[in-house]
């Protein structure tokens, strides 16, 4: 705010105070009237009175406007009664300054209220999975299982389809054989060796059971982390009542649906079958009845999810997305991580292999975070894990562990804070999204234990500058200097859709920003009513942004962006 603008605002505010002050013989009465006049309504959060004011100023404790009025009145009275110029100037300047502070607080209250109202509107619009629902599916026999489509350190994933589609639930579709006959010409291929997604819309993940026992209760207790993204109908009603402990207290902690987080539609235990490729791919984890040398138990946990065309790593190996698509992909990962953080979940194993990918109607990649086997999901939401000994698991992939996690030394009272660890991993994965090698994967490359920020490799010149800024901030070693996933996501939202309004104001002004937010809300609501365009990736991201509006986090994002712009402007001028 310029000095000229500040003086004009202060004088305008002071004029009203002085006019009322002239009508009353005592400043206390004037201050009290002004406090009543500007008092916020019950729905607006008001500033609490400050304790440093003595009790004799009881009329001015309720409002900074009242204090400003008294100070300005005192300065005006000293002018009439012959007070020294120094005292008159002091009282008037202080009064005008306090008035400006109160005006800024009033603007903040209005802006915060507008953000809360927008947030309330969009939080009512919950995300619904596009997968066709089905009423059965709580047994392995309910599915036709196809080829293996993935294998990790603790599970194998197979493509699958329900044995029969219910006509009421699938709008007239019938058996899988009919779907095959009708859709033979449609081949949405995952890879040259995979079957059509049309034929196999689901994926079944079979967990490997080494020491969890063979009872359903023991298996669910041991593998309950996999149940974090479960939907409301994932279990049979009777299994919902099973008491689960471990990390989750009395029931498995679950996160609500989000377009960038996988959804588990069914979860059940069953005997381990001999699936295609089992003897060749994972013979050691099979039970003895299938492989005499196998070490696995007879029963294990199966989870059913939507089938996706490929992983993020596979996609980036064969495709070069546009600059805008790259920005949207980084933003989706941040939105997914923020959704998990808000609900007290840290993934702790983020990597491009654990991110699935599909496409919206416009061909834009939609990213989905999957594989929650290493997640931290405590009953609270602090995301802090006591680290008393090396027996406590820090998470999955050590190459992409945040510095504060990988360098933690166990001991009494030591706690690892995971609130920004997944955001750091997004910063590392973003190098891959921008078309570069992940610097923490390369042989002889950087290690999160001891790297310095100046050692981070340069970005491709074609990469969006704001995305580069976000990645640099996310990869800061000190988590206190690192933005949260929410702030980083807000930076990209403002860069993609609010750049003009952000460039037209300073970091303190919010009126134009709030006006823009209201316009964006109207546009997004209209798009949602317009059919398929409301289900695209960009529309989903905008809804996520508006449903998480917070004035403080928004201003923090604005500050980071404006600082980055100033730095780039300074560099260009010096060059």
Residue 188: pLDDT band with limits 50, 70, 90: very low
Q: Which tens digits make up the pLDDT trace of 203-226? A: 999 999 987 778 888 888 888 889
Active site positions, annotated: 349
Query: What is the Cα–Cα distance from 518 to 525, expressed in whole angstroms?
Result: 11
Would you state the structure tokens that stand for residue 492, as one six-digit string?
């990209």
Report all structural domains of the chain as residue ranges with CATH numbers, in order of start. Answer: 3-123 (no CATH), 140-307 (3.30.200.20), 354-574 (1.10.510)
More confident residue, 306 or 191: 306
CA distance 569 to 571: 5
The confidence band for 173, taking pLDDT boundaries of 50, 70 and 90, is very low
pLDDT at 20: 46
pLDDT band for 303, please (50, 70, 90 cuts): very high
Angle at 147 between CA 145 and CA 152, to 5 degrees: 105
Q: How far is CA 372 from the centre of its chain?
A: 16
**Contact of 466 with 488, CB cutoff 8 Å:** no
**Better-scored residue on pLDDT, 247 or 8:** 8
Choice among 88-92, 145-149, 311-315, 457-461 with the minimum mean pLDDT: 88-92
Beta bridge partners of 240: none
pLDDT value at position 46?
38
pLDDT mean across residues, the chain: 77
Q: Which residues pair with 346 in a beta bridge?
A: 376
The pLDDT value recorded for residue 82 is: 54
Phi/psi of residue 573, nearest 5 degrees: -70, -40
* Measured torsion, CA atoms of residues 93, 95, 97, 103, in degrees rounded to the nearest 10: -150
Terminal CA-CA length for the chain: 29
Q: What is the pLDDT of residues 508-533, one digit of tens each?
A: 456 788 888 888 888 888 877 655 55
E strand or H helix at 61: none
User: 150: part of which helix (H) or strand (E)?
Assistant: strand 143-151
Nearest residue to 162 (alpha-carbon basis) of 185, 148, 146: 146
Tell me the two tokens of residue 44: 């607006």
Q: How many residues does the chain have?
A: 575
Say what the pLDDT of residue 409 is.
93
Which DSSP category does 140 fall into? G
Mean pLDDT, residues 50-55 taken together: 44
Q: Is residue 473 a contact partner of residue 483, using CB atoms and an 8 Å limit?
A: yes
Phi, psi at 161, each rounded to 5°: -150, 150
Q: Which helix (H) or strand (E) holds 482?
A: none
User: Which 3 state secondary structure label does DSSP give 525?
Assistant: helix
Q: Quick one: pLDDT at residue 97?
A: 54
pLDDT in tens, 344-382: 999 999 999 999 999 998 899 999 999 999 999 866 667
CB-count burial class (<10 Å; 0-12, 13-18, 19+) for 449:
exposed
What pLDDT, on the 0 to 100 scale, is given for residue 14?
52
Distance CA 506, CA 512 (A): 10
What is residue 244's predicted lDDT score, i.e. its pLDDT?
Answer: 47
Q: How confident is residue 331, by pLDDT bands cut at 50, 70 and 90?
A: very high
**Rounded Cα–Cα distance for residues 155 and 205 (Å):** 7
Mean pLDDT of 137-147: 91
Is the pLDDT assigned to residue 313 strictly greater than 80?
Answer: yes
Label residue 22 by pLDDT band (50, 70, 90). very low
Q: What are phi and psi of 344, to 5 degrees?
A: 75, 35
Q: Is residue 531 within 8 Å of 563, Cβ to Cβ?
A: no
Q: Is the pLDDT of residue 420 over 60?
A: yes
Determine whether 424 is exposed, middle or buried from the number of CB atoms within 10 Å of its CB (0-12, 13-18, 19+).
buried
Q: From 222, 446, 404, 434, select the one nearest 321 (Cα to Cα).
A: 434
Tell me what pLDDT residue 192 has: 37
Please list the helix, strand and coil fractions of the chain in percent, rounded to the nearest 5, in that order. 45, 10, 45
Which stretches does DSSP call E strand in 293-383? 299-306, 310-311, 355-359, 365-369
**Percent over 70 (pLDDT), the chain:** 67
How many angstroms separate the CA atoms of 129 and 133, rounded? 9
**3-state SS class at 189:** strand
- Of the pLDDT bands very low, low, confident and very high (cuts 50, 70, 90), residue 461 is confident
d(CA 433, CA 429) in angstroms, rounded, equals 7
The whole-number pLDDT of residue 443 equals 73
**How far apart (Å, rounded) are the C-alpha atoms in residues 53 and 49?**
9
Phi, psi for residue 153 in degrees, rounded to 5: -80, -15
H-type helices in 365-453, by residue range? Answer: 403-406, 421-433
pLDDT of 236 strictly over 70: yes
Each residue's pLDDT tens digit, 465-494: 999 999 999 999 999 999 999 999 999 999
Q: Is the pLDDT of residue 335 over 90?
A: yes
Give the DSSP per-residue string, 212-252. S-SSHHHHHHHTGGGGTTB-TTSS-TTGGG----GGGTTS-
Q: d(Cα 258, Cα 544) in Å, to the nearest integer?
A: 9
Q: At 80, which helix (H) or strand (E)?
A: helix 64-80
Q: Which residues contact 253 (CB under 8 A, 6 or more apart)?
A: 228, 247, 343, 344, 345, 377, 378, 379
- 89 within 8 A of 71, measured Cβ to Cβ: no
436 three-class SS: coil
pLDDT at residue 181 tops 70? no
What's the rounded Cα separation, in Å, for the pair 474 and 464? 16
Distances (CA, A) of 566 to 85, 557, 569: 41, 14, 5
What's the confidence (pLDDT) of residue 75?
Answer: 57
Whole-number pLDDT of residue 129: 63
Q: How confident is the model at residue 254 (pLDDT cuts 50, 70, 90)?
A: confident
For β-strands 299-306 and 264-271, DSSP reports them as: antiparallel
Segment 292-316 shows an average pLDDT of 94
* Dist CA 346 CA 358 (whole Å): 23
Task: Report CA-CA distances (Å) from 548 to 191, 342, 360, 541, 552.
Answer: 37, 10, 23, 11, 12
């Amino acid at each position: 705010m310029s000095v000229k603008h500040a003086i004009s605002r202060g004088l305008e505010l002071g004029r009203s105070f002085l006019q009322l002050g002239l009508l009353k013989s005592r400043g206390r009465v004037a201050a009290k009237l002004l406090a009543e006049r500007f008092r916020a309504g019950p729905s607006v959060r008001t500033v609490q009175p400050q304790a440093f004011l003595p009790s004799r100023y009881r009329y001015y404790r309720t409002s900074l406007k009242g204090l400003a009025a008294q100070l300005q009145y005192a300065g005006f009275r000293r002018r009439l009664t012959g007070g020294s110029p120094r005292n008159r100037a002091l009282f008037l300047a202080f009064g005008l300054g306090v008035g400006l502070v109160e005006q800024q607080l009033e603007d903040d209250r209005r802006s915060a209220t507008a953000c809360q109202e927008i947030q309330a509107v969009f939080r009512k619009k919950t995300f619904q999975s596009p997968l066709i629902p089905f009423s059965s599916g709580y047994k392995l026999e309910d599915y036709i299982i196809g080829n293996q489509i993935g294998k990790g350190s603790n599970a194998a994933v197979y493509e699958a389809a329900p044995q029969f589609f219910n006509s009421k639930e699938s709008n007239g579709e019938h058996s899988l054989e009919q779907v095959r006959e009708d859709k033979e010409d449609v081949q949405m291929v995952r890879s040259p060796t995979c079957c059509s997604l049309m034929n196999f819309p689901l994926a079944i993940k079979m967990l490997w059971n080494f020491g969890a026992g063979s009872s359903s209760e023991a298996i669910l207790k041991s593998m309950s982390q996999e149940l974090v993204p479960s939907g409301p109908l994932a279990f049979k009603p009777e299994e919902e009542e099973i008491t689960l402990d471990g990390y989750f207290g009395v029931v498995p902690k679950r996160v609500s649906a989000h377009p960038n987080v996988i959804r588990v539609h069914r979860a059940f235990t069953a005997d381990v079958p001999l699936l295609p490729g089992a003897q060749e791919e994972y013979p050691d984890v099979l039970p003895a009845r299938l492989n005499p040398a196998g070490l696995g138990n007879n029963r294990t946990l199966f989870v059913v999810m939507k089938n996706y065309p490929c992983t993020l790593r596979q996609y980036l190996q064969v495709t070069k997305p546009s600059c805008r698509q790259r920005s949207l992909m980084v933003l989706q990962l941040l939105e997914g991580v923020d959704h998990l953080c808000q609900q007290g979940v840290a993934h702790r194993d983020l990597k491009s292999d654990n991110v699935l990918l599909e496409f919206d109607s416009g061909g834009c990649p939609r990213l989905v975070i999957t594989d929650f086997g290493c997640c931290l999901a405590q009953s609270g939401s602090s995301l802090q894990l006591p680290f008393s000994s090396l027996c406590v698991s820090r998470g999955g992939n050590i190459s992409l562990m945040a510095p504060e996690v990988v360098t933690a030394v166990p001991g009494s009272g030591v706690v690892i804070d995971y609130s920004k660890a997944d955001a750091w991993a997004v910063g590392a994965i973003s190098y891959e999204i921008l078309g570069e090698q992940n610097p923490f994967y390369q042989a002889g490359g950087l290690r999160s234990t001891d790297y310095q920020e100046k050692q981070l490799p340069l970005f491709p010149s074609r990469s969006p500058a704001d995305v580069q800024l976000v990645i640099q901030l996310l990869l800061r070693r000190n988590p206190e200097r690192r933005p949260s996933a929410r702030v980083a996501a807000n930076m990209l939202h403002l860069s993609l859709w609010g750049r003009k309004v952000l460039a037209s104001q300073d970091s303190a002004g919010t009126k134009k920003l709030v006006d823009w937010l209201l316009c964006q809300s109207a546009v997004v609501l209209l798009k949602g009513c317009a059919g398929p365009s409301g289900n695209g990736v960009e529309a989903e991201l905008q809804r996520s942004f508006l449903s998480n509006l917070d004035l403080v986090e928004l201003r923090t994002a604005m500050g980071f962006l404006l600082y980055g712009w100033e730095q780039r402007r300074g560099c260009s001028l010096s060059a």
